[in-house]
Structure 1
Amino acid sequence: MFTQLKNIETAFQHIKRFSIAFLITCLLLTCTVTFLCFNEMRKADNRMLILYNGKVLEAFASERKQNLPVELRDHIRTFHKYFFTLDPDEKSIAAGVTKALYLADNSAKQAYDNLREAGYYNNVISANISQEIEIDSIQLGTEAPYTFTCYATQKLIRSSSTVLRKLVTRGNIRVLNTQTDNNPHGFLILGWETLVNTDTNLKNLKS
């Protein structure tokens, strides 16, 4: 009788240990499957399909921090091109400057007002001058507030000559909470100022 009870107790202990091991295995398996599912869902959120020329292409999204320097430089480049690209037409000048002012604070508006009061835009129109700008390089700070120094070359094209002008500007950039059609990167240039704006060369155009 005692032997039978001992065998029953031993069998119960085996079943108990097996049950505990089975339960732990199920928990581990459940946790592993859950982790893998969430990991795949996160990857799927960063993946998108693009239809291009009738073909479906797969693209991957990345965190903004990885692309932040590229976006900042493009914002700076876009602002300068809008502000300094001029044609001898009042509406064209106003349209370009208006686009630029969406990308900067009142410091850019003040610079525009100073040029207008000095008669700069009237001279561009009356002398039929076209102004272009080429961004040479942009030095960018790596921590907020992001500081920058922009080095560029202006080209003032007249009917008889072309003047090259060295341009250096600097400012800070604030990251906004929203992005709009007028400011697609969601940045704002602060305290913008011109450090250098001098003629460097004169090229006579061939007739």
Structure 2
Amino acid sequence: MFTQFKNIDTAFSHIKRFSIFLMLFCAGLSGFAIYKSYEGIKAAQARIYILANGKAIEVFAAERKDNIGVEIRDHVKMFHHYFFTLDPDEKVIQRNIAGALNLADQSAKKAYDNLKEQGFYSNLMAGNISQEIHIDSTQLDLNQYPFYFRCYATQKLVRSSFTVLRKLVTQGYLRNVSRSDNNPHGFLILKWETISNQDLIKP
């Protein structure tokens, strides 16, 4: 009789251990499944499709810090393109300058006002001069905030009789702002100034 009880107690102990092991296994399996589901959802959210020419193209999202250098360089490029790409047309000048002023603080507005007072834009229109700019390189310091940049560019002034090339060097800082249609990268240029603007080829 005692042997029977002992066998029952042993069987109950085995069942108890098996049940505990089964519960721990199920809990671990459930946790693993939840983790993998979360990873799958995160990966799916990082996958974006855009429609181009009637075709769906898959692109991948990335965190801002991963592309901050690329975005800053493009922001600086856009600003200089708007500020220095000019034609002898008042509406073109106003449109481009407005685009540039959306990307910078009052330092850019001050530079624009100084050029306007000096008759720079009037001379462009009177002389039928077009101005283009090519960004050669942009140096960044991302270890400080606001972020520092120095931009090296080549200006091309096209007149009816000759063309002038100028070497342009500017510098400034950038801080984060909200993204918008007028400021897609979400940066604002601060304390912008021209360090050098010298002729490379003289007529």
2-structure distance, mates of 1:26, 1:56: 41
1:113 matches 2:97: no
Partner of 1:74: 74
Residue of structure 2 in register with 1:140 after alignment: 140
SS class of match (1:166): strand
Matched with 2:124 is: 124
SS of corresponding position for 2:200 = strand
Q: Partner of 2:69: helix, strand, or coil?
A: helix
- CA–CA distance in 2 between the matches of 1:70 and 1:60? 16
Match of 2:165 in 1: 164
1:58 correspondence with 2:40:
no
- Report the residue type matching 2:30 in the other structure: T
Distance verdict in 2 for CA 1:48–1:104, change over 3 Å: same
The answer to which of 140-149 and 161-170 deviates more is 140-149
**Which residue number in structure 2 is paired with residue 8 of structure 1?**
8
Instruction: Name the amino acid aligned to 1:48.
Output: I
Give the CA deviation at 1:67: 1.2
Q: Residue 87 of structure 2 corresponds to which residue in structure 1?
A: 87
Residues 111 and 53 of structure 1: is their aligned pair in 2 closer, same or farther, counting only changes over 3 Å?
A: closer
Deviation by residue 1:27-61 (Cα, 9 ceiling, x = unmatched) = 11111111111110110010123344444433221
Identity of aligned residues (%): 57
List gaps (5 residues or longer) in structure 2: none
**Runs of 4+ displaced beyond 3 Å:** 50-57
Give the Cα–Cα distance (whole angstroms) in 1 for the partners of residues 54 and 197 of structure 2.
49
Aligned residues: 202
**Do the aligned residues in 2 keep the contact of 1:161 with 1:202 (CA within 8 Å)?**
no
The one-letter amino acid paired with 2:102 is Y
What is the RMSD of the two structures over their aligned residues, measured on CA atoms?
1.2
Q: 2:156 aligns to what SS in structure 1? A: strand
**Aligned-partner SS, 1:70:** helix
Aligned partners of 1:50 and 1:183: how far apart in 2?
Answer: 21
Q: 1:116 to 1:46 in 2, by over 3 A?
A: same
**Residue 161 of structure 1 aligns to which amino acid in structure 2?**
F
| Structure 1 portions without partners, runs of 5+ | none
TM-score with structure 2 length normalisation? 0.95
* Shift in alpha-carbon separation, 1:35–1:74, aligned structure 2, 3 A: same
The SS at the match of 2:111 is helix
Change (3 A) 1:43 1:108: same
Q: What residue is the counterpart of 2:154 in the other structure?
A: 153
